[in-house]
Amino acid sequence: MISIEKINEQYGREMAVILQACRVYFNTATIEDINNITKNITVNWNEVLAASKRHKIRPVVYKILLQAVLPSDILERIKKELLQITQRNWELACETERLILLLKANGVEAIPYKGTAYSKQFYGDLISRESSDIDLIIEFKDLDTIIELMQHDGYLGENVWVHEFLQEKNFRLNKDFNFNKFQQQKRLFHVEFHWRVAENYCVLNNDANNFLWDTNINNALVKKDLVLLSNEAHGMSIFMHHAFKDCFTLLRNIIDIGVFLQQQQLNWTKIQRRLQQTKCEKSFNLATELADSLFGIKSSYQPNPSLSKAFLKQLIVVNPVNMVEKKPTGFLMRKNQQMRSGVEKFNFLLKFYFTLLLPSIIDFRIVKLPRNFFFLYFFLKPIRFLFVRYNGVEEKKRFIPKE
């Protein structure tokens, strides 16, 4: 575990406080350790709170800081924000359960994934993992039925006509389909239906998607018993998402893996067998080393310290890097460090650059080609890119219904 003195010296006292709070959460440090940092130096508490929000770890950090010696105004802010997070997570959990039961009543099986379901299963409650949306696992064959049910329930599908155009190609090109529910132009819920862990360009072995249907737990999310992923399947799915999709860019990624590693009754033989099948041993070594270096979490899987240096630098900053898709150079660097061989790296680069040619919502909106001429989008997209760039903020605005 990296010494807190080194964190304070190289990355600032604010990050030292945040990491120390996380260590207290994992029982590898104490409240006195936090107070020892703050009693002799001045801490920018506004930046501590802002960085915790950017890393999406406010519930973990705040619950610990409430036990420490802090200025009264900061304590009040923490209590207020924690209450808001608690209320929001409760709303998300209730809506998750309602949607699962609605779909089940119409013959569609959906399994809760990430979000409040992961919080309940691994953090021990609904409120310790900061969540913003609802994730459900489905079979792609049920998507048309789901679209009809969700729209009847008041949800608006994102790019329904694109799915109608792509049909079976949507299964191969994408990993999920999303819906939003609005009230007076304010989004109440965002729901993602997944049929795979990550997009094709992440070069994740297809065997990884088998985790999404490895269920052996029936437990209540809020009130009703639901079918849940097994501990091994849910933890491994989250690990693969954070490793191959997020590339370990936020402290929440490592905390998620940390609470998984601390489970008492994990079947490590099963986990190691699955890691070999999916060829993810190197990435899992990296994840365990990051959890050990940052939080002092030990596991039955042996970490490899030589992998973690570049990833630690991007994690221990108060202002983390933007989403990896917006940083293609950094994304390629971090992905290549997780590849096991030159052949894998070459295969990844091919798929990554092929993905850049795949049509986006803008291409479909500008030119609506017949399905038989789908291949022409690969030639049209580079031309479109010269004149019209993708703007995520503007695209999200298009989903807001007009009053």
Question: What confidence score (pLDDT) does residue 307 get?
Answer: 65
Place of tokens 């989004």: 187
Place of tokens 């091994």: 232
- Residue 81 near residue 58 (C-beta atoms within 8 A): yes
Confidence of residue 55 (pLDDT cuts 50, 70, 90): very high
Question: What confidence score (pLDDT) does residue 325 get?
Answer: 43
φ, ψ of residue 327 in degrees (nearest 5): -125, 70
Question: What confidence score (pLDDT) does residue 354 get?
Answer: 79
φ, ψ of residue 263 in degrees (nearest 5): -65, 135
Alpha carbon distance 158, 182 (integer Å) = 13
- Residue 334 near residue 312 (C-beta atoms within 8 A): no
Alpha carbon distance 262, 254 (integer Å) = 12
- What is the chain's Cα-based Rg? 22
Question: What confidence score (pLDDT) does residue 77 get?
Answer: 96
Beta pairing partners, 219? 226
In this structure, what is the dihedral angle of CA atoms 227, 232, 236, 239, given to the nearest 10 degrees? 100
Q: Which of 5-14, 104-113, 286-295, 392-401 has the highest mean pLDDT?
A: 104-113
225 pLDDT higher than 50: yes
Alpha carbon distance 50, 81 (integer Å) = 11
Alpha carbon distance 114, 193 (integer Å) = 12
Burial of 240 (0-12, 13-18, 19+ CB in 10 A): buried
Alpha carbon distance 374, 365 (integer Å) = 13
Alpha carbon distance 116, 234 (integer Å) = 12
Question: What confidence score (pLDDT) does residue 258 get?
Answer: 96
Question: What confidence score (pLDDT) does residue 335 get?
Answer: 62
271 pLDDT higher than 50: yes
φ, ψ of residue 152 in degrees (nearest 5): -65, -25
305 pLDDT higher than 70: no
151 pLDDT higher than 70: yes
343 pLDDT higher than 80: no
φ, ψ of residue 40 in degrees (nearest 5): -110, -5
To the nearest whole number, what is the mean pLDDT of the chain?
Answer: 87
Burial of 39 (0-12, 13-18, 19+ CB in 10 A): exposed
Lowest-confidence segment of 115-124, 210-219, 304-313, 373-382 by average pLDDT: 304-313
Alpha carbon distance 133, 11 (integer Å) = 31
